Structure 1
Amino acid sequence: MTFIKTTEQDSNYNHLEQMTVTELLTNINNEDKTVPLAVEKAIPQIEKLTEQIVIKLKNGGRLFYIGAGTSGRLGILDASECPPTFGVSHELVIGLIAGGDSAIRKAVEFAEDSTTQGWEDLKAYNISIKDVVIGIAASGTTPYVISALEKCNTNNIITGCITSNHNSPLSNVSNYPIEVIVGPEFLTGSSRMKAGTAQKLVLNMISTTTMIKLGRVKGNKMIDMQLSNNKLVNRGTQMIMNELNISFDEAEQLLKTYKNVRSAIKNYTNGN
């Protein structure tokens, strides 16, 4: 069966330079509207991978995202938001990008073409059978990512992927592939658009669901969030007020004392 990259197929729109600003924005938005529907079709695949992640993390494992370019940056973004949102260690969810940290801001030429560096980057974190690795690549053909997952497989490390092409080489080396088929991009080949949006949605789903199942949410509140600015301190105070039915001043004092919403609620409830 011939592998066809829908992410590289010609846009359904032509003569973009002749469109008005309104036409461009409207057409991009119309394409973007199709992304959540494509993600919805992939929920059974997302579920299977997420269940494995929850099991591994409950038993002391870690979650790794590995990608190149936009895909790598989105993995790093999701990983970096877990500690402030859920109060977990920076070592629990780790994002890796081809070319290293400098590639977060500036593209590193040909870094994604390496067939050895992905595994080396994982080894630097002492990757083990306790962990899960998700390769992210819209095309499903990125050598840096594919080769890393192949080495994970030989070392009995659970692998998953997020891609926007069906039956891609990346899917074929993943234990739990997620394929979100968004079709041709508005700007031909610009997979930072619909494919990138799909990746962001799926990453949100995976990490948020995992953290909820790890007990990092109470009701619908982020009770383990880091209090890193005034907005979050105020949000935390409101959480304590509502949970304990006390005044703002009392809740604020509890938060100042215990530095954490969960600890404040627990200690007040226990009479400490």
Structure 2
Amino acid sequence: MARKRKGRPIHGWLVLDKPLGLSSNQALGRARFLLQAAKAGHAGTLDPLATGVLPLAFGEATKVVSFAMDGTKTYQFTIAWGEARNTDDCEGDVTATSDVRPDAQAIRDILPLFTGTILQKPPAFSAIKVDGKRAYALARAGNAPDLPPREVQIDRLDLISAEKDHARFETDCRKGTYIRSLARDMAIELGTCGHISVLRRTRVGPFDESAAFSLEKLEELSHSAPLEKTLLPLETPLDDIPEVAVMESEAIRLRLGQAIRVPQQMQGEVLITTSGTPVAIGMLEEGVLRPKRVFNL
């Protein structure tokens, strides 16, 4: 017999402004405690030294986390010139130094090289698995893996400001991009070395920092109003998926895993709803609608 989950069955998304120093799982744990939620997950890890948008999924929203993670992400970051670190951020040990300090024009000249589809070597201190072990665990044990480059997509990379020892940037990028690697490679291209000194994520797909709550704000609100009011709908990250509305009698069949026929010409993945309530993620092919992922709402 399955053990009953502790907590309340709440469903939806919370945009958390993750503070400096907490891991994503620690931040999730605190938010889950405040909401007393039975089930929770997050969409896209932020390092402890990063702050900003961490979308948290509660209840049935955890079934669409992958859609949120596929969304475009926006980061603001600062590169400190003159020191390379083994972690590619300010937490690691210095591995190289340089007296070269690029000026603003030199920085602008290289930005096109790091825009579009590029090859990027992930940092040794990353969560990528190597022979069943996390790369960061191997690196901490003194066996840093030589990870192969992989293709990533950077849609936009802008210089915000440039000082002698550091420069600030903003970028829009896709899943799998490491900002620490981007900073390392930009410094190398400029004939110097560098590392991330500040990193903040301001957007993940439809989740923007303007809708984000800090842990302190959530705790303050918990004393005066139900925190469910801070949640966004389960279907928030599904805006790009066509919606197919069905009758309640059809929704009952779909929830049981049965296929139904619908008068629709479209093909592919769809969001199935009834009276505005999400029923399932489904696949529509030649007028036959099959449920793939059913929501228990």
The TM-score range, normalised by the shorter chain, is under 0.3
TM-score (norm 1): 0.27
Question: Which structure features the higher share of helix residues?
Answer: 1
Higher Rg: 2
